[in-house]
Amino acid sequence: MTQKDEIIETVETKKESPKKENKFIKFILKHKYYVGLILIIFIILVWSLIRIAILKNNFNNQKQEITTRYELKLDSLNSERLLLTATTFSWAIRSELLRDNNDQINQFFNEFVKNTDIVKLQFINPITSVVEISTDKKDEGKIITSYKNITEQIIKKDSTEFIIVTPITGLNRKIGIFVIHFKNLTY
C-alpha cells in the first residue's frame, strides 16, 4: 500500500466514525418533555416574582399617597380647630378689655398656657406695638411691629411653631392684637 492509499483510507474512516455528541445535549434530547415542563415552571416562577415586585411597589405608592392625604386633612382640621379656639378666646379678651380688666386677661393667659400644645400667648397694643401681656414675661415691653397692620386673623407656620394672630376690635377701632404660639403639631 502506498502512502496515497493510506491517506485515502484514514480520511474514509474518519468520515465513517460518528461524531461524539455532548452528553448534556443527549440528555436534553432524550427527555424533551421533562425539560420543557421545567422551563415552563421556571418562566412562571420568574413572571410571578416580577408581578409580586410590581404589586408591592404599587401598594407602597398607594399607601404613601393615602398617608399624605390623611396628614394634610388632619393638619387642615387641626388648623381649623386652632383658629376657632383663637377666635373664641379673643372674644373673651375683648370683653375683658372693654371692661378694662387686664388682671382677668392675665389669668386667662396663665390658665390657657397650661395646655401642652401652647408655647406662649401675647397681647399687643395696636397703637404702640408693645407687648402688654404675655405668658413669657421676657416679652412684656417688647415692640413687635410685624402685626401692626393686620385686619383679619392670620396663620404663620415655621419648622417649630404654628402662630395664630387675631386682631381684636372694639366698636369702631382695633383695641388689641392677640397672638398664640402653638407647638408645631406632628402626627
Distance (Å, rounded) from C-alpha 178 to C-alpha 93?
8
Question: What is the grid cell recorded at 42?
Answer: 421556571
Per DSSP (E only), the strands in the chain are: 118-124, 131-134, 154-157, 161-169, 174-183
> What pLDDT, in 10s, does the model give residues 14-30?
554 455 568 888 888 88
Domain ranges in the chain? 54-183
Distance (Å, rounded) from C-alpha 95 to C-alpha 10?
123
pLDDT in tens, the chain (187 residues): 666 666 666 555 555 445 556 888 888 888 889 989 999 999 999 999 999 999 999 999 999 999 999 988 988 888 888 888 888 888 998 998 888 888 888 888 888 888 878 888 999 998 898 999 988 888 888 988 888 888 899 888 877 888 899 999 888 888 899 999 888 765 4
Evaluate the CA torsion angle 91, 92, 96, 99 in order and state its sign: positive
Residue with cell 372694639: 170
Quick one: 109 exposed, middle or buried, by C-beta within 10 A (0-12, 13-18, 19+)? buried
- What is the dihedral angle through the alpha carbons of 152, 157, 163, 165, rounded to the nearest 10 degrees? -10
Q: Are 153 and 165 in contact (CB under 8 A)?
A: yes
Distance (Å, rounded) from C-alpha 115 to C-alpha 113?
5
CATH class for the domain made up of 54-183: alpha beta
Write down the pLDDT at residue 57.
Answer: 96
Write down the pLDDT at residue 17.
Answer: 46
Give the bridge partners for 3, in sequence order.
none
